[in-house]
Amino acid sequence: MPKSNVYSRAVAALFLMVVLLSGVSAFAEPPSSGRQRIQASPQVLPAVRRAATGGGSDLFTGMARDVFMDIASNGDIFLAQEQRNALTLDIETVVLRSQDGGESFQEIQVFSKAFSSVLPNALDVVEGDQDRVYLALYEEFPGTLVFAYSDLSTVTGTWSTTSVASIPGLPNNPEADLCTDALEYPDYYLYMAWASPDADGDDIWFSRSLDFGATWSSPYKIGDNVAGANTLHFRPRIAFGNDTLHAGWTYGERNQDTFDDAVFYRRALNYADAGLGDWDPVVTMYPTNDGLDQRLYELEASSVTGDVLLIYAPTAAQRVQTARASFDSGSTWPAGNEMPVGFLERCTLTYRPGSAEFVVSGRRKFLVSSFFRNEFGYRTIQLAAPNITFGSIEILEDAPSTSPASERSALAVDPSHGEQVALLWIRDENPFFDAEWRTPLLFPRPEQGFPFMIDSPGSSPAIADIDSDGDGEVIFGALDGTIRVLEHDGTIRAGWPQPTGSAGHRAAVAVGDLNGDASLEIVAATADGRVWSFGPDGQPNLGWPVDLGTGAAAYPCIGAIGAPYTRHVVVVSGNRLFALSYRGEDRGFAWTFSGIITQPPAVGDLDGDQVAEIVVVQGEDIFSVNLASAVITPIRTLSGKTISG
């Protein structure tokens, strides 16, 4: 399940570096332990809208510094929030529940201890032979990893707690992680990994529970660090999938002054029945001497295939998140199977069993008018060897913000809503919740791929489906003399941009079917009196460009002004009005006005006589040109008003 935790460490003095052994063992056959496996396979889900609806109004859930979330099969949403008690100033873990799809949350449990912080580390809602909500907690003083649980049917009543491990000498969060094999076995096991220090550095420890959290096995090290007190294994992640247990963590140093942060991975078969003997050797995913501080943030595994996915940051400074995949249950991790996920900071990752795909969430950062803006969203990740395929980024935050964004967010999918996504994020210690299924808001929000930053001022855009694929394209001209076309997702369309000379474009382009062949033409006019017509592929049409001979900026439109052609290009330039056929031929209409025209004309039947008129705005005056009589008629003068359009 998704995790999100805080990383900080005190500075120590001693250092001795050793190289950890790494290697990969051959993949073994699935174990036969007598446990009855669930015959899971991808299922067809009810049709749900996975478009960027934006959810509903972002819901504030109370002050918090860290958040965890999971959702039961009946749609109950559980949150674990790290909050400061307003009276005692101690850090508490507050458990909230929503039974109305996230429209409201009620506090159902508080974990606190006098003169000590109680920090949430993980939250999992698990259903099988026992339906329970599980919590991993850290009591900062004297330093105890605590496991808590309650039956879903009595979650507002009694919670059971047990101490899993003593973690002395660590003044901060051990970042414990929790997983289960409940998607594969109804008599599920629970698995936990955490960081804990000793005299020669911080290690990664492991334990499991075979009785639904009532007791835990004796912990042992799966990441044994003997390099000295300045070094540490931290941020452990653990996941179970396809009869394989996966663990990963980051290796670094407190002083950050000698070697690069590295990422390690290790897997176990047989549910780790034989203890350390069931664990393969540690694999160095990214080394300590490559000039980059790589850090692991997330790890998840498929319950029906051998797909395993980890999220890491290639550099600690940039914090750009990247996905890397294994398609054989962690037996191999080909170096080429990785791609940036499109989010910054600590991404959150979960698995969607119904469609056998992963979902990742995080913070997107982009530049608008010299200001960086931040917004939280999610996207799907599908694995099919050897490919990683991303869905479009869907934004749930109501509006981009320039305020600082926390690294922390929580992600879950709701089985009662067709596995739609719920997201909770923190901004300035203010957590906000939203979900796909909530009522969409009625105000604009940027779509995926937008805003699109251009290197030259552009004209007003036109939107048209020029390739008949059901999605609109964005077409506009720029002052650098190019015509540009963007796909609906903000990517540049193949065949574009197209140059038209150095004069540039001031007018909006016009898009329409000029010759009745059901294909759209793109008409653009330059600032020196030339008119172009392009096909959807970016190639100029036969007969174009046309030089109007005015040397002045031209402004086009497309309209039906009479036979023999379906549509004409009607264009003004300087003080003149022209009509051109789809081949670029001048129809012989040439009207002259008393002043310069700086807006495109419009075409339509104003008086219902079945003959089109052309409306032209010149300065403060509006004129109608009757094509039957060739008479220019003043319609109205708006004194003192400047007309544009």
**Alpha-carbon torsion 17, 248, 193, 329, what sign?**
negative
Q: Which of 86-100, 165-179, 410-424, 583-597 has the weakest average pLDDT?
A: 165-179
Instruction: Quote the pLDDT of residue 24.
Output: 31
Backbone angles phi, psi at 276, to 5 degrees: -60, -25
Residue 535 pLDDT greater than 90, yes or no: yes
- pLDDT band at residue 62 under the 50/70/90 scheme: low
For residue 359, pLDDT over 70 is answered with yes
Q: How long, in residues, is the chain? A: 645
> Among 26-30, 35-39, 254-258, 633-637, which is the least confidently predicted range?
26-30
Count the helix, strand and coil residues of the chain and give each as a percent rounded to the nearest 5. 0, 45, 55
CA dihedral 637, 641, 644, 645 (to 10 degrees): -70
Give the model's pLDDT for residue 56. Answer: 64
pLDDT score at 435: 93
Between these two residues, 71 and 527, which has the higher pLDDT value? Answer: 71
CB 205 within 8 A of CB 219: yes
Which domains, from first to last, does the chain contain?
59-435 (2.120.10.10), 462-637 (2.130.10.10)
Of 210, 8, 89, 102, which Cα lies nearest the Cα of 435?
102
- Dihedral (CA of 319, 333, 251, 70) sign: positive
Residue 385: exposure state from Cβ atoms within 10 A (0-12, 13-18, ≥19): middle
Q: Which residues have C-beta within 8 Å of that of residue 526, sequence separation ≥ 6?
A: 481, 500, 501, 503, 504, 505, 532, 553, 554
Higher-confidence residue of 120 and 336: namely: 120
* CB-CB neighbours of 575 under 10 Å: 15
pLDDT tens for residues 392-424? 888 888 766 666 555 678 999 999 999 999 999
DSSP letter for 154, please: G
Instruction: Say what the pLDDT of residue 170 is.
Output: 57
Tokens encoding 594: 């008393």
* Residues forming a β-bridge with 458: 478
Specify the pLDDT at position 22.
32
Q: Which residue, chain included where needed, has tokens 């991790």?
A: 333
The answer to whether 214 touches 161, Cβ cutoff 8 Å, is no
φ/ψ region of 347 (left if φ > 0, alpha if ψ in -120 to 50, else beta) reads: beta
The model's confidence at residue 54, banded by pLDDT at 50, 70 and 90, is: low
Task: Report pLDDT for 607.
Answer: 79
100 in Cβ contact with 109 (< 8 Å)? no
pLDDT band at 180 (very low <50, low <70, confident <90, very high): very high
Residues 22 and 447: their CA atoms lie apart, in Å, by: 44
- pLDDT at res. 594: 84
Q: Quickly tell me which residue has 């010759």 as its tokens.
A: 515
Tally Cβ neighbours within 10 Å of residue 451. 14
User: Residue 196 carries which side chain, given as an amino acid letter?
Assistant: S
Nearest alpha carbon to residue 120 among 130, 132, 110: 110
* pLDDT value at residue 621: 83
DSSP secondary structure, 345-363, as one string: EEEEEEEETTTTEEEEEEE
Cβ(327)–Cβ(337) under 8 Å? yes
- Measured distance CA(121)–CA(178) in Å, rounded: 8
pLDDT digits (tens, 9 = 90+) for 575-600: 999 989 999 888 777 788 888 988 89
pLDDT value at 519 more than 80: yes
How far apart CA 110 and CA 288 sit, in angstroms, is: 41
Per the model's pLDDT, the better-predicted residue between 6 and 539 turns out to be 539
CA distance 339 to 347: 14
Confidence grade of residue 45 (pLDDT, cut at 50, 70, 90): very low
Give 195-219 pLDDT, tens digit per residue. 999 889 999 999 999 999 999 999 9
Q: Which of 350, 345, 271 is nearest to 309 (CA)?
A: 350
Residue that the structure tokens 């330093």 belong to:
143
Does residue 51 have a pLDDT over 90? Answer: no
Q: Is the pTM of this model over 0.75?
A: no
CA distances from 205 to 197, 280, 283, 293 (A): 10, 15, 16, 23
Query: At CA 532, angle to CA 527 and CA 533, rounded to 5?
Result: 150
In whole numbers, what is the pLDDT of the chain averaged over residues? Answer: 84
User: Could you identify the residue written with the tokens 């997330």?
Assistant: 298
Q: How far apart are CA 455 and CA 639, in angstroms?
A: 38
Rg (CA), the chain: 32
**Nearest by Cα to 182 from 101, 124, 246:** 124
**Dist. CA 280–CA 244, nearest whole Å:** 11
More confident residue, 613 or 510: 510
Q: Tell which residue, 599, 642, 608, has the closest CA to residue 626.
A: 608
Give the distance, in angstroms, between the CA of residue 108 and the centroid of all CA atoms in the same chain. 31
So what's the pLDDT on residue 550? 92
Cα–Cα distance for residue pair 533/643, rounded to 1 Å: 27
Q: Give the percent of the chain with pLDDT over 90.
A: 53
The pLDDT of residue 533 is above 50? yes
Residue 229 phi/psi, 5° resolution?
-65, -20
Query: What pLDDT sits at residue 622?
Result: 87
Is residue 641 predicted with pLDDT exceeding 80? no
Greatest distance between any 2 Cα atoms in the chain = 99
Q: Work out the pLDDT band at 272, boundaries 50, 70, 90.
A: very high
What is the structure's pLDDT at 31? 43
pLDDT band at 639; cut points 50, 70, 90 = low
Name the least confident of 99-113, 163-177, 597-611: 163-177
Q: pLDDT tens digits for 477-497? A: 988 889 999 998 888 999 999
Tens digit of each residue's pLDDT (9 = 90 or more) over 9-43: 222 222 222 323 333 333 333 344 567 766 543 33
Amino acid at 143: G
Q: How high is the pLDDT of residue 11?
A: 25
Asked whether the predicted pLDDT for residue 84 surpasses 90, the reply is no
Q: Taking residues 295-324, what's their average pLDDT?
A: 88
